[in-house]
Chain A
């Protein structure tokens, strides 16, 4: 420790420890460091790093859950089988479609909400809490409630639709081949947008008021202030929120599990549901592992893109 080495007097005495041997305290600290990290290291190895390597390994074998057949090395067979499976391709397509819609819509809405609740108005904190509150509702609960809201004959949404359209507009929502995935998108945005709002709001509050005053003196319009000050200043929070939402879109599972299990006709099937179906329901551990590896590569790519864009700003 450079600080203790440099300073004389009592600190130096402490460095020699109560037993008087030089360096015993620093040895003790070394030992403590190892002891403090040990439980964490063991758990991370057993439950994260280990299984991750195992996913890689298993994905090249024929391993099944509780099967008497010997395990064989099968090369890339599981990956070929995965990518040629119609149901996996549909699932991957649904994830991409979900991401393409939800990421821009949810980010834009979060930005709008953040700007709204950043105004100096009495009671604005209450609105902030209300917009955030769906985040506190567990996803399975939110999905359950929306399941009933989406009911074609007794659901509130069709009730409202029919009221404002004098009975002409109706939708089968989750039971409709075209509306099922958009229904899950709407519900997911409702549940998650408050979370992004809070992150963007934190970014908004860091923008210096001087910038806006200078712009006002120069006669900038509100739109000019928004596009030349707010957006560039929010670069990092927006990139962060965008990529995190992308990753969450590929992790999509809870809503689908509760609301549709992939129905109708696999139109709401997603990668994580496919992984559970193949790896767990069909007991094909090896193919499930292959899906996990593909999923990880997607997340890794998105994370690297995020870090690259965020880095530029830091330097």
Chain B
């Protein structure tokens, strides 16, 4: 639909812009705060100057690295996220492909099981999982933050439906040429499934980069602590420095922001196709 008169179009833009300000002002506030001297973040916090980086410098960023240990926490988050996303893509796509294309005894039942498991949220298993992980002495490691998140019923299902929709002809042609299941998957099916890999990759990164509940339960020091828990600790760490906290928050957002700007279309499509976000 398109507004008919010029006046209506102008009114529309006014409304759209007013709403845009509502959505974007906390982010502008965060970025401005990250660059201004610590004392001014509070002093100008309730004025229009809250949106302006008065006396801009990088001092807060240095502080976030020194006092907030941003570097260490960033590396932790990067290691955990890369492992979860990378291993997850392999494990979930293999399983989704097998369920769609390589039927075996019991594979229908397995598909049903995967669909049922989609209902169980992480929160429902966090406490017994914590108990199990302490029994085997895995607490406070990278492993304990990676292993539980690799296999994901929703992602297996997304891959399953995608592979089901790929025409069989190409795979059959590869088989005629003597390619086995592994070669067929690697050379033909997986390359065709790039959109599914992009969707699952983005969704799983969005989820794991922001994960807070599980690190609260299984990590206790900054050595393996990821960024979301890191910022919640930094906010309470005296003497509280809001400038440094804003710098921490800003830097923590950059990877996702870059990903969003570069892959905007994919991002929006992934979210629309998923319906589940942690």
Contacts and interface: CB of A to CB of B under 8 A. Distances in A.
B231 A140 contact: yes
A202 B232 CA distance: 35
Contacts of A195: 271, 277
B124 A292 contact: yes
Interface stretch (B55-63, B193-201, B207-215): B207-215
B54 to A, nearest CB: 15
A140 B226 CA distance: 12
Interface stretch (A34-42, A93-101, A171-179): A34-42
Interface in A79-117: 113, 116-117
A280 interface: yes
B83 interface: no
B119 A131 contact: no
Nearest to B41: A148
A224 interface: no
B7 interface: no
A18 B46 contact: no
B221 interface: no
A28 interface: yes
Nearest to A132: B268
Q: Is the interface of B mostly helix, strand, loop or mixed?
A: helix
Nearest to B216: A276
Interface string B24-61: 11110110010000000111011100100000000000
Contacts of A254: 210, 212-213, 228
A158 B46 contact: yes
Contacts, number: 299
B147 A244 contact: no
A198 interface: yes
B213 A135 contact: no
Nearest to B155: A40
A201 to B, nearest CB: 8
Contacts of A116: 12, 15-16, 19
Nearest to A255: B212
A70 B46 CA distance: 57
A138 B132 CA distance: 28
B78 interface: no
Interface in B62-111: 91-92, 94-95, 97-99, 102-105, 107, 110
Interface string A132-161: 111111111110111111010111101100
B interface, size bucket = 35 or more
B112 interface: no
A258 B121 contact: no
B9 to A, nearest CB: 7
Contact of B23 (A11, A190, A244): A190
Contacts of B277: 135, 195, 248
Contact of A144 (B46, B129, B235): B235
B224 interface: no
A116 to B, nearest CB: 6
Contact of B110 (A41, A144, A289): A41
B151 interface: yes
Contacts of B42: 151, 154
A154 to B, nearest CB: 4
B165 interface: no
Given A254-B212, A258-B235, 11 more contacts: A28-B181, A141-B30, A144-B249, A145-B246, A148-B29, A151-B42, A159-B45, A159-B46, A199-B275, A212-B1, A276-B217
12 contacts: A30-B102, A33-B181, A37-B110, A48-B117, A48-B151, A116-B15, A119-B1, A134-B27, A137-B27, A253-B123, A254-B210, A279-B127
Interface of B: 1-3, 9, 12-13, 15-17, 19-20, 22-27, 29-30, 33, 41-43, 45-47, 50, 91-92, 94-95, 97-99, 102-105, 107, 110, 113-114, 117, 119-121, 123-132, 134, 147-148, 150-151, 153, 156, 168, 172, 175-176, 178, 180-182, 185, 206, 209-210, 212-213, 216-217, 227-229, 231-232, 235, 242, 245-246, 249, 252-253, 256-257, 259-260, 264, 267-268, 271-272, 275-278
CB-based closest 8 A-B pairs: A159-B46, A33-B102, A43-B151, A40-B95, A32-B181, A36-B98, A51-B125, A138-B210
